[in-house]
Amino acid sequence: MKIRKFQQQTDFQTFLENNPDIREHVQFEAAIMSRRMDEQSFLLDGYCKVCDTPTLFLVDRLFGAQETLQGWMPNWRERLACTRCQLNNRQRAILHAIKETVAKRAANEKTVSLYAMEQITALFAWLSQHFENVTGSEYLGEEIAGGTIIDGIIKGIRHENVEALSFSDQRFDIITSNDVLEHVNLPEQALAEMYRVLKPGGEIFVTIPFHLHAAQTVCRAKLVEGEIKHLLPPLYHGNPLSEKGSLVFNDFGWEFVEQLKTVGFQDVSLCHYWSYLYGYLGDPQYYFWARKPF
């Protein structure tokens, strides 16, 4: 998988507009769908870098497939689920990157500690099964103290408010946050907490719903004296702990990159990726990466 890193909106926009690979990827994906327009779902051959084995990737109409005059177009980011590990495009890509990073660090460090801002997910299950020193958490309510382990319907769930993590300073080598920060009232505070609990030289891997053409982040809702004030119509994303889902507080633009730099992160990058073999379709696909200085 070839990773291209961008630190500025203008550079990435120029790349999207002028790189012939992008046009070829879009045409390739359209050609796939032109042969599948009458199907509700189908499978693509490929190789899962999470499972490290040949597999089939499921493509279907779940999670916002778009109907067009030419047929339907899947939400590539949320589908292409590996039929072995069940992880989708974005989840497999971030684990692909984390696996490579852990392998590099393990060559020089006795242990590699990792924190995931999720716990009741297939992604966290994979991390905890394949790596040691993995900690996960979920947000369970403002009345609960950070670090509390809840034994309810699902046992052993750790509560953390990512705006005020209970971990000590310089605790982790790697932090991953996957489509979490849009549900945080003050994402800049969450980024500052990530920076605080990360060791010098530590790395973060982040996915968020991101508006490529927006310079500024748009606030959809905010907490005012404990009450939610909606600035735009409420939008919710799926949440395994809530039938209602999780409220989206922010629609992120390139201001997110500047927020990472402001709290101290270096080499802040939007990492672009695409691969038919690995089931990373839907150009442009990307995640964010940054490092805490030594």
pLDDT tens-digit profile of 7-59? Answer: 999 999 999 999 999 999 999 999 999 999 999 999 999 999 999 999 999 99
DSSP-assigned states of every residue in 109-120: -S---EEES-SS
Mean predicted confidence (pLDDT) in 210-228: 94
Q: Is the pLDDT of residue 178 over 80?
A: yes
Cis peptide bond N-terminal to 209, omega within 30: no
If pLDDT is split at 50, 70 and 90, which confidence band does 241 have? low
* Distance between CA atoms of residues 114 and 126, nearest Å: 13
Q: What is the DSSP letter of 112?
A: -
pLDDT for the residue 242: 64
Q: 72-104, pLDDT tens digit by residue?
A: 999 999 999 999 999 999 999 999 999 999 999
Radius of gyration of the chain (CA): 19
Structure tokens given for 93: 């890509």
Q: What number of other Cβ atoms are within 10 A of residue 126's Cβ?
A: 20
Q: Supply the pTM of this predicted model.
A: 0.94
pLDDT for the residue 210: 95
Q: Which residues contact 219 (CB under 8 A, 6 or more apart)?
A: 231, 249, 250
Question: Residue 102 in contact with residue 126, Cβ under 8 Å?
Answer: no
Q: 149-159, pLDDT tens digit by residue?
A: 988 656 789 99
Q: Cα–Cα distances in Å, from 12 out to 9, 241, 267, 285? A: 5, 36, 15, 12
- Exposed, middle or buried, 264 (CB in 10 Å: 0-12/13-18/19+)? middle
Q: What architecture (CATH level 2) is domain 4-291?
A: 3-Layer(aba) Sandwich (3.40)
Structure tokens given for 201: 């030289």
Q: What number of other Cβ atoms are within 10 A of residue 82's Cβ?
A: 24
Residue with tokens 């809530």: 242
What residues does each domain of the chain span?
A: 4-291
* Distance between CA atoms of residues 284 and 14, nearest Å: 13
Give the start-end residues of each E strand in 142-183: 149-150, 157-158, 172-178
Tell me the Ramachandran region of residue 16: left when phi exceeds 0, alpha when psi lies from -120 to 50, beta otherwise.
alpha
Q: Is the pLDDT of residue 238 over 80?
A: no
